[in-house]
Structure formats: C-alpha cells, structure tokens
C-alpha cells in the first residue's frame, strides 16, 4: 500500500489566488459585456523588453547549429549570467563569490525548496499578512507542528503586522530559528528601512537563526532609506539567504528565472552543535533535484543587465509605479485608509464598514466590475483589508470607483 504524504492534505486544494480567477470567470459568464478592471492578480501585464526578446532569438539560433549547440546548463547557471548578478551586487557595495549565486526558475522554487536543507524541528517565524507560500511550504514539508486554532500552527510564530506597527514585523519574544522576510512586502506594500532590518539581522546573529529574505520587489524601491539587499546590513551574510527574481522586475513571470544567494558565512547546525555552511547543502540539493533553467531564458535574463535592457526595464517599472500611485491617490481622495505603495506595486487598504474581505471582493466585482485581492488570502491578519496592484493597464485608471 502506497502511503500519501499527508502533510499535503493540510493546505487547501485550490491555491488561494486561483479562487479569484474562478469567481471572475463565473461573473464573466453571467455578464459577458462587463468591462472588468483587474487590480487583483500579482502578475505583470506589459510585454517583454525588446532587448530580452533579441537575446533569446539569438540564443535559439545558436542552439540550431552544431558548433554553438548547448545541452545541460551548469548546475548553478551560466557564468555569463552569474557574473552580471555579481556585478549588480558590487554596484551596491556588496561582494559575493560566484559559487554562492544560484540561478533558478524563480523565487517560488527557492522559497518552496529551502525546507529540503533545513532540519525538521525549526521554529519558523512568518509575518502576517504576507505572501502565502512561506506558510504553505512550511506546512507541506511537515514543519508546521500541530494546528492550534483558526488555522494557526504550533511551530510557526506569526508576526502580526497591523496599522499600529505600520505593517512592519516586530521581533518575537520567543526564540525562532528560521525567519521569512518579504521586503518590500507583498501584500501590504510596506518596506523596512535599514534600521528596522538591522534589528532582524542582529536578532538572527544573537540566536543563530537564519533569515530567508524575499526581495521580489527590490526593483520598485524608491526611497533611499530602504535597502535594496539585506547584505547592505552589517553581518547579514552570516544569517541571510537572499531570493530575487526577474518575474516582477523584467516581465519574466511566464519565462521563469530568478536567483538565490547562499553566502559562505551562513551556517546551520547539526544536533551536536557543529556548524555546516548552508551553501554546501544547497549545492547538493541543486545538483540532484534540478537541471536548472534553459540557455535561452538565461540569455534573456542576461539582457536585463545591459544598458538598453536596464532602460527598458526602468520604463516598465515606472509605468507600474505610476499606475499604483494613481490608484492610491484615487482611493485616498475617496476617503479610504490606505497603506503601502511607495516602494512597491501594491496598495493595501481598509475595507469599508467592517465588511469581510470576501464580501467586499464580491461587492466590488458585482457593483463596480473591479477585481481586487481579499486580504484574508494573506493570513487572518489580512481580514478586513483589500489589495490592489499597479500591474493593470493605464486605460483602467481612473478606476471609476
Ligand atoms: C510574485 C512573488 C514571488 C514569485 O516569484 P517567481 O519568481 O515568479 O516565482 C515570490 N515572492 C513574492 C513575495 C512574490 O510576490
């Protein structure tokens, strides 16, 4: 009898955001003429930068000739791309060894797979509301412990982010071993500055904990006091993995490419207290569980770092940022209590009349033909809030609420 991994039964059958798509499709069937304004999905909508397309065309042609054909990528990714990433960090004053940079098929893979190299009994800290994959991956890998109440798990320490702390997670009173930080944060659009992030780095150093730092929205940072990388903080290489992606930066959500940094200085511990560099474990996992990302896509990602590529990417990001600002201004003018936006493509706002976020989702869809994301999808602390994104097209703005 083949047994199931029952941990997989502990998370919902339908990935939370697919639920929205289902409801919108049902609405469209009933109201085929409705012009729907999409401010819900966390997915980009602009076409790929021309430089990326050009580089990929060239790469395909190379694969069509015997003398330039390529098979498997090196397990960590091609040097041409790793060098560009290394240089990008250098421009922030951060020096990284090439063998600590791993090209992957996007941030979700790195976040979902990190559990492979961590012990079972870690206590995990997760901010709330936040990107749901941190918690789901923790549950599915059998690390969440027992369910306590209202879908809270015994081995997860939830860091409540509320208007009182400006949606910035505060240090826990108890000891935690693995800390997920999303900065700037999805869905609240808020971002920790260097001083706030330093508290977490210092905490992790003091407690021999590690930080999984999700920098998916690094390219949207506008304010100088917000760090572009956790490695800008002194000592962070000893405690932090940094996960980045071309998805929200360069329209790669469909192409798939990202990278993760595992500094040599970052150690985890055996039960006898011996330290092990985490990069050694990750490197084993990487070469045994994946054959990486296609040559074509890595060439496309490389083009993002060219002068022209950078310029095109900046234009796209500015387009999304302007969308986000316009929607935010509209909501403020309408009297909503609005958070976030400044360093991210997300606006987080309080649902009117103490409605539940799903009830408000329906009201928005049926009365205004606007699709948002109910805050509850990002954890119970998201109840009573709604997320709008700037990944819409400009024709949708003003949203005519
Ligand atoms: C979109 C998103 C990701 C997923 O990125 P991919 O590289 O497309 O897998 C990861 N983290 C956060 C916070 C996101 O919003």
**Using a 6 Å cutoff on CB, does residue 344 contact ligand 1?**
no
Report the pLDDT value the prediction gives residue 281, as an integer from 0 to 100.
98
Report the pLDDT value the prediction gives residue 13, as an integer from 0 to 100.
80
Report the pLDDT value the prediction gives residue 246, as an integer from 0 to 100.
98
Report the pLDDT value the prediction gives residue 353, as an integer from 0 to 100.
94
Report the pLDDT value the prediction gives residue 16, as an integer from 0 to 100.
74
Ordered DSSP codes for 260-277: EE--TT-EEE-TT--EEE
Report the pLDDT value the prediction gives residue 396, as an integer from 0 to 100.
79
**Using a 6 Å cutoff on CB, does residue 258 contact ligand 1?**
yes
Q: What Cα–Cα distance (Å) separates residue 380 from each residue in 112, 140, 148, 371?
A: 21, 19, 14, 20
Q: What count of other Cβ atoms lies within 10 Å of the Cβ of residue 355?
A: 14
Q: How far apart are CA 383 and CA 376, in angstroms?
A: 4
Please, how many CA atoms are within 13 Å of residue 352, restricted to the half-sphere of its CB? Answer: 7
User: Best of 15, 103, 131 to mutate for ligand 1, by most ligand atoms within 8 A of CB?
Assistant: 131
**Using a 6 Å cutoff on CB, does residue 342 contact ligand 1?**
no
Q: What Cα–Cα distance (Å) separates residue 227 from each residue in 139, 239, 401?
A: 30, 16, 34
**Using a 6 Å cutoff on CB, does residue 259 contact ligand 1?**
no
Determine contact, residues 241/261, Cβ cutoff 8 Å: yes
Q: How far apart are CA 94 and CA 115, in angstroms?
A: 26
**Using a 6 Å cutoff on CB, does residue 108 contact ligand 1?**
yes
Q: How far is CA 329 from the centre of its chain?
A: 25
Cβ within 8 Å of residue 196, ≥6 positions away: 168
Give burial (CB, 10 Å; 0-12/13-18/19+) of 253. middle
Q: How far apart are CA 76 and CA 293, in angstroms?
A: 9
Q: Locate the ligand 1 atom nearest the alpha carbon of residue 245 and give its number.
A: 7
User: Best of 132, 216, 379 to mutate for ligand 1, by most ligand atoms within 8 A of CB?
Assistant: 216
Check: pTM over 0.85? Answer yes or no.
Answer: yes
SS3 category, 126:
strand
User: Best of 42, 103, 107, 218 to mutate for ligand 1, by most ligand atoms within 8 A of CB?
Assistant: 107
**Using a 6 Å cutoff on CB, does residue 216 contact ligand 1?**
yes
Q: How far apart are CA 200 and CA 150, in angstroms?
A: 27
Report the pLDDT value the prediction gives residue 340, as an integer from 0 to 100.
85
Which tokens in the block code for residue 9? 């039964």
**Ligand 1 atom 14 nearest Cα:** 216
Determine contact, residues 176/157, Cβ cutoff 8 Å: yes
Give burial (CB, 10 Å; 0-12/13-18/19+) of 356. middle
pLDDT values of the chain reduced to their tens digit, one per residue, 401 residues: 999 999 999 988 877 778 899 999 999 999 999 999 999 888 999 999 999 999 999 999 999 999 999 999 999 999 999 999 999 999 999 999 999 999 999 999 999 999 999 999 999 999 999 999 999 999 999 999 989 887 799 999 999 999 999 999 999 999 999 999 999 999 999 999 999 999 999 999 999 999 999 999 999 999 999 999 999 999 999 999 999 999 999 999 999 999 999 999 999 999 999 999 999 999 999 999 999 999 999 999 999 999 999 999 999 999 999 999 999 999 999 999 999 888 999 999 999 999 999 999 999 999 999 999 999 999 999 999 999 999 988 887 877 77
**Peptide bond before residue 184 is cis, with ω within 30 degrees of 0:** yes
Q: What Cα–Cα distance (Å) separates residue 133 from each residue in 4, 106, 299, 310, 383?
A: 21, 13, 28, 29, 18
User: Best of 108, 129, 214, 346 to mutate for ligand 1, by most ligand atoms within 8 A of CB?
Assistant: 108
**374, β-bridge pairs:** 386
Determine contact, residues 122/143, Cβ cutoff 8 Å: yes
Report the pLDDT value the prediction gives residue 308, as an integer from 0 to 100.
98
Which tokens in the block code for residue 140? 């599915």
The kind and range of the H/E element at 202 are: helix 194-207
- For the chain, report the end-to-end CA distance as a whole number of angstroms: 56
* Domains along the sequence of the chain with CATH: 11-48+308-396 (3.90.1150.10), 79-303 (3.40.640.10)
For the chain, the farthest-separated pair of C-alpha atoms sits apart, in whole angstroms, at 67
Length of the chain: 401
Cβ within 8 Å of residue 102, ≥6 positions away: 76, 77, 110, 259, 260, 261, 262, 282, 283, 286
Residue 393 — φ and ψ, nearest 5°? Answer: -100, 155
SS3 category, 346:
strand
Cβ within 8 Å of residue 93, ≥6 positions away: 232
């Amino acid at each position: 009898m083949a047994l199931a991994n029952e941990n997989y039964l502990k998370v919902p059958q339908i990935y939370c955001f697919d639920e929205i798509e289902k409801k919108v499709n049902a609405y469209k069937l009933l109201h085929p003429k409705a012009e729907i304004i999409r401010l819900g999905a966390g997915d980009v909508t602009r076409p790929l930068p021309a430089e990326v397309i050009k580089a990929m065309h060239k790469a395909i042609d190379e694969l069509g000739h015997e003398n330039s054909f390529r098979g498997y990528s090196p397990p960590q990714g091609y040097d041409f791309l790793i060098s560009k990433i290394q240089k990008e960090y250098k421009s922030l004053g951060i020096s990284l060894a090439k063998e600590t940079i791993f090209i992957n098929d996007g941030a979700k893979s790195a976040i979902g797979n990190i559990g492979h190299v961590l012990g079972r009994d870690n206590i995990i800290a997760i901010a709330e509301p936040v990107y749901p994959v941190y918690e789901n991956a923790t549950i599915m890998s059998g690390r969440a412990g027992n369910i306590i109440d209202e879908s809270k798990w015994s081995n997860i320490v939830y860091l409540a982010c509320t208007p009182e702390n400006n949606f910035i997670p505060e240090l826990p009173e108890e000891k935690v071993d693995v800390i997920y930080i999303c900065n700037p944060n999805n869905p609240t659009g808020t971002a920790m500055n260097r001083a706030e992030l330093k508290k977490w780095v210092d905490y992790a150093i003091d407690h021999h904990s590690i930080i999984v730092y999700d920098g998916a929205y690094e390219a949207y940072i506008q304010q100088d006091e917000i760090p572009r990388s956790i490695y800008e903080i002194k000592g962070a290489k000893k405690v932090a993995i940094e996960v980045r992606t071309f998805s929200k930066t360069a329209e790669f959500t469909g192409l798939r490419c990202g990278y993760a940094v595992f500094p040599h200085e970052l150690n985890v511990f055996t039960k006898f207290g011996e330290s092990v560099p985490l990069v050694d474990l990750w490197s084993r996992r990487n070469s045994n569980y994946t054959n990486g990302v296609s040559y074509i896509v890595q060439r496309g990602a490389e083009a993002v770092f060219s002068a022209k590529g950078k310029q095109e990417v900046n234009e796209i990001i500015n387009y999304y940022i302007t969308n986000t600002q316009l929607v935010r201004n509209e909501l403020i003018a309408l009297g909503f209590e609005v958070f976030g936006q400044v360093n991210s493509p997300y606006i987080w706002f309080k649902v009117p009349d103490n409605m539940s976020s799903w009830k408000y989702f329906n009201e928005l869809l049926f009365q205004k033909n606007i699709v948002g994301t109910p805050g509850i999808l990002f954890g119970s602390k998201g109840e009573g809030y709604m997320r709008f994104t700037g990944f819409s097209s400009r024709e949708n703005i003003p949203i005519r609420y």
